[in-house]
């Protein structure tokens, strides 16, 4: 009888864990699907919570508010290798490249929440301030429109590989509306 009660309690706890996981996964207010990539987010006070995923076993990335092409954008890229997620906080140093904030005297202002790679899909979750004190990070308008760059690279878990896919969108972080950026 005790074994049955213990198994029943364990099964009940498993159900509670599944429910808790579902709640965590549903905490984003908005989501955009572009090609084989998803960008989900929630503005929480002065913080932006992001979940990005793509059909790749390489890296996924997002950039905010470039001045021209990739220049001056605030980037976050991430990948998962051997079950461990890695992210980097970067700055668009030219129209075609980006480097780590720290290499330019800035700081890493992004907090990794989690990451996974399953069935050929890489998912990274992180939080970042809408307005950090880092001079490498431009402000993100949590109540309005931003240019959002989405990209992913394939094949290798490395930030040095070029993207297989990229797009630029105008996204209102408050309403979730989006359109292709020109």
Q: Is 165 exposed, middle or buried (0-12, 13-18, 19+ CB in 10 A)?
A: middle
What is the predicted pLDDT for the residue at 19?
A: 27
3-state secondary structure of 67: coil
pLDDT digits (tens, 9 = 90+) for 73-118: 899 999 999 999 999 998 888 888 887 777 777 778 999 999 999 9
Q: CA dist 66 to 101, 105, 121, Å?
A: 15, 19, 27
What is the predicted pLDDT for the residue at 66?
A: 93
Say how far apart CA 95 and CA 98 lie, in whole Å.
9
User: Which candidate, 109, 127, 130, 164, places its Cα nearest to that of 52?
Assistant: 127
pLDDT digits (tens, 9 = 90+) for 9-53: 333 333 322 322 333 444 899 999 998 999 999 999 999 999 999
pLDDT digits (tens, 9 = 90+) for 106-140: 778 999 999 999 999 999 999 999 998 888 788 89
More confident residue, 19 or 60: 60
Say how far apart CA 123 and CA 14 lie, in whole Å.
23
What is the predicted pLDDT for the residue at 158?
A: 65
Task: Provide the CB-side half-sphere exposure for 87 (13 A, CA).
Answer: 26
94: DSSP letter: S
| Neighbouring-strand partners of residue 135 | none
Strands (E), the chain: 30-34, 37-44, 47-54, 60-64, 74-81, 84-91, 99-100, 111-118, 121-129, 145-152, 165-172, 178-180
What is the predicted pLDDT for the residue at 126?
A: 97
What is the predicted pLDDT for the residue at 118?
A: 94
What is the predicted pLDDT for the residue at 131?
A: 93
Task: Provide the CB-side half-sphere exposure for 6 (13 A, CA).
Answer: 3
* Residue 173 in this model has a pLDDT that exceeds 70: yes
What is the predicted pLDDT for the residue at 25?
A: 45
Q: For 29-180, which CATH class? A: mainly beta
Q: Which two tokens stand for residue 152?
A: 């992913």
Sign of the Cα torsion 135, 141, 145, 151 reads positive
What is the predicted pLDDT for the residue at 106?
A: 75
What is the predicted pLDDT for the residue at 7?
A: 38
């Amino acid at each position: 009888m005790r074994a049955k009660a213990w198994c029943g309690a364990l099964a009940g706890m498993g159900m509670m864990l599944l429910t808790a996981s579902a709640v965590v996964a549903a905490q984003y207010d908005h989501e955009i699907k572009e090609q084989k990539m998803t960008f989900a987010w929630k503005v929480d006070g002065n913080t932006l919570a992001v979940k990005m995923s793509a059909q790749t076993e390489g890296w996924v990335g997002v950039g905010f508010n470039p001045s021209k092409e990739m220049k001056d954008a605030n980037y976050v890229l991430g990948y998962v290798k051997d079950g461990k997620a890695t992210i980097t906080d970067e700055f668009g140093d030219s129209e075609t490249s980006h480097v780590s904030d720290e290499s330019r005297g800035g700081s890493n202002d992004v907090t990794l929440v989690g990451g996974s790679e399953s069935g050929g899909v890489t998912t990274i979750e992180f939080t970042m301030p809408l307005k950090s004190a880092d001079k490498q990070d431009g402000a993100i308008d949590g109540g309005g429109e931003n240019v959002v760059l989405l990209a992913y690279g394939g094949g290798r878990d490395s930030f040095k590989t070029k993207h297989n896919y990229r797009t630029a969108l105008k996204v209102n972080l408050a309403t979730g509306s989006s359109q292709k950026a020109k």
